[in-house]
Amino acid sequence: MTAADHRFSDSERHGLYRAIRERRDVRAQFLPDPIPPEVLTRLLQAAHHAPSVGFMQPWDFIVIDSLEVRQAVQAIFEGENQKAAANYVGEQATLYRRLKLEGILESPINLCITCDRGRGGPHVLGRNTIMETDLFSVCLAVQNLWLAARAEGIGVGWVSILDQGQLAKTLRLPAEVYPVAYLCLGYVSEFLSRPELEVKGWRSRRPLHELVHGNAWGQPLESGPLEAALRSREGLEAGDSEREQEERP
């Protein structure tokens, strides 16, 4: 047996890395087309197959298609967004107010992924020291769903500008259940070639080689194959991005 025996085929690996690279936080491109039940089931299954510390599986999924509920969540967003806008001044404030930061009403389905902080009892294997591992596990479920959605041609937008207490009350969550992620799901008119916040000039992706340390924080990698591979990959991605922009009408 060799190291490559458990590797996926070239096409399968390409599809996985493509989903990771082309995943986007969607806000403004939603279509009204409904998501078929069998497709939504596949997305939920992908989320449910995420790893979790101690196999606690702390997640639950609230599927929201009620206009009344979504309008209530939209109102929570509007209040919190006004507060958030006050954090910025000048050109940054102007840009912030122009950003489309949610698709609560435009998307056909909203999904809240929660964390039951009591699931598994008081002693969960692997959670004795780091109690937040249940929250971390739910984030892995979110990522699984997000990548599966991209493979299905479905956009996902995470609405983070929400008061979690008000959201929990609106969704009638038990006291021990925390709303980790409020997501908007739907088919889209397009997936942007780059993240929307980068396109709009809010922030750019940081170079990976600047974020990789050697053996301890702040220690550069020694010049060698890994350091060269990181820079080479960044050069390839930069070239791909430039070509995509040139090809766009």
| pLDDT for residue 249 | 43
Q: Could you read off the pLDDT of 189-199 as tens digits, one per residue?
A: 999 999 999 99
For the chain, domain boundaries: 13-203, 206-249
| pLDDT for residue 104 | 98
SS3 per-residue string spanning 107-142: CCEEEEEEEECCCCCCCCCCCCCCCCHHHHHHHHHH
Q: What percent of the chain has pLDDT over 90?
A: 86
pLDDT tier at 8, thresholds 50, 70, 90: very high
Q: Could you read off the pLDDT of 151-176 as tens digits, one per residue?
A: 999 999 999 999 999 999 999 999 99
Amino acid at 76: I
The first and second tokens of residue 223, run together, are: 């010049």
CA–CA dist 137, 188 (Å, integer): 28
Amino acid at 128: N
Rounded to 5 degrees, what are φ and ψ at 245? -65, -40
How far apart, in Å, are the Cα atoms of 235 and each of 22, 104, 203, 226? 17, 37, 19, 14
Q: Which fold has domain 13-203?
A: NADH Oxidase (3.40.109)
Identify each DSSP E strand in 12-137 by its residue range.
59-64, 109-116
How far apart, in Å, are the Cα atoms of 20 and each of 58, 87, 88, 95, 110? 24, 31, 31, 28, 22
The first and second tokens of residue 75, run together, are: 């109102």
- Nearest CA to 63 among 99, 113, 26? 113
- Count Cβ atoms below 10 Å from residue 46 Cβ, excluding itself: 19
